[in-house]
Amino acid sequence: MRKIHPLLFVLFCLTACPLSAQSDSLLFDADFRFGEGVYFSHAALLSNQPDLPWEAIDGEMVQLPEDYRVQIDGYAYKDERINPELIPYAISLDGLPYLYVRYDKERDFHEFAGLRVRGALSTVRYDTTVTKRQLMKAYNPLNGRPFRQAYVEREKTLTLVKVLHLRSGALKNLDRTNLLPLLSDDPDLSKALREAKEVTEDLLLRAIRLYDDRHPLSLPAQKMNP
């Protein structure tokens, strides 16, 4: 019987193992699909292992794919042992990831925003409502002096754009100050962004897409039911 040289066997293991690991991972891009259900943590999302299937959730869902939005009216857990106040981190619907962004108390719905750019750096965009207090004054037409004043609350809708560092889960407003540290392992791209005279949202998004192309990220493939 022919014996295998120990060194050759070790080399075979070193080369074969990475191939086996890679076969279970896929490039995280627009074509990547997550397991269907609810994720309670960023770690669960990275491992592509939902904590609960959709069958465990109560509520009425409205999906707005053109706006990358999902709203779930009356979101609740069927299992009474689960804390009803437990907030989901993210959901996957049709394999697409949506991050939890807000709860509308008046209308009792949870809102989730889908990842638009997908890669090591990903982006989300969503609207939020803020209440601002503004001092209003009434002036005497004879002398021009204010004779009455009061604070008035007004609601204003703001559009937020955020960048998600997928490896760490850090979610920050999309601007040059926040993006530069996330590009620190790409000196050329960091320098170009730092030296840019005019920084627009389009420029920041192009920098993110370029970074994702140059720094591909792989995640575990979706596990199929037997």
Specify the range with the lowest mean pLDDT, choosing from 1-5, 39-43, 103-107, 130-134: 1-5
Say how far residue 164 (Cα) sits from the centre of its chain. Answer: 5
Q: Is residue 180, in this structure, part of any structural domain at all? A: no
Specify whether the CB–CB gap between 204 and 189 falls below 8 A.
no
Q: Is residue 70, in this structure, part of any structural domain at all? A: yes
C-alpha 137/C-alpha 135 separation (Å) is 7
Specify whether the CB–CB gap between 120 and 166 falls below 8 A.
yes
| Per-residue pLDDT at 213 | 97
- Please return the burial class of 222, using the count of CB atoms within 10 Å of its CB with bins 0-12, 13-18 and 19+: middle
pLDDT digits (tens, 9 = 90+) for 159-180: 999 999 999 999 999 999 999 9
C-alpha 47/C-alpha 50 separation (Å) is 9
Q: Is residue 50, in this structure, part of any structural domain at all? A: yes
pLDDT digits (tens, 9 = 90+) for 170-215: 999 999 999 999 999 999 999 999 999 999 999 999 999 999 999 9
Q: Is residue 64, in this structure, part of any structural domain at all? A: yes
Q: What's the length of the chain? A: 226
Nearest to 121 by CA among 44, 69, 54, 181: 181
Q: Is residue 194, in this structure, part of any structural domain at all? A: no
**What's the predicted TM-score (pTM) here?**
0.79
Q: Is residue 4, in this structure, part of any structural domain at all? A: no
Please check the confidence at residue 132 and state whether its pLDDT lies above 90: no
Average confidence score pLDDT of the chain: 87
The residues facing 218 across adjacent strands are 27
| Per-residue pLDDT at 19 | 36
Please check the confidence at residue 129 and state whether its pLDDT lies above 80: no
Q: Which residue has the higher pLDDT, 154 or 184?
A: 184
Please check the confidence at residue 131 and state whether its pLDDT lies above 90: no
| Per-residue pLDDT at 55 | 97
Q: Is residue 108, in this structure, part of any structural domain at all? A: yes
| Per-residue pLDDT at 106 | 86
Q: Is residue 189, in this structure, part of any structural domain at all? A: no
The count of structural domains within the chain is 1
Please check the confidence at residue 225 and state whether its pLDDT lies above 80: no
| Per-residue pLDDT at 23 | 53
C-alpha 34/C-alpha 44 separation (Å) is 11
| Per-residue pLDDT at 130 | 61
| Per-residue pLDDT at 105 | 87
Domain that holds residue 110: 25-114
pLDDT digits (tens, 9 = 90+) for 24-79: 899 999 999 999 999 999 999 999 999 999 999 999 999 998 999 999 999 999 99
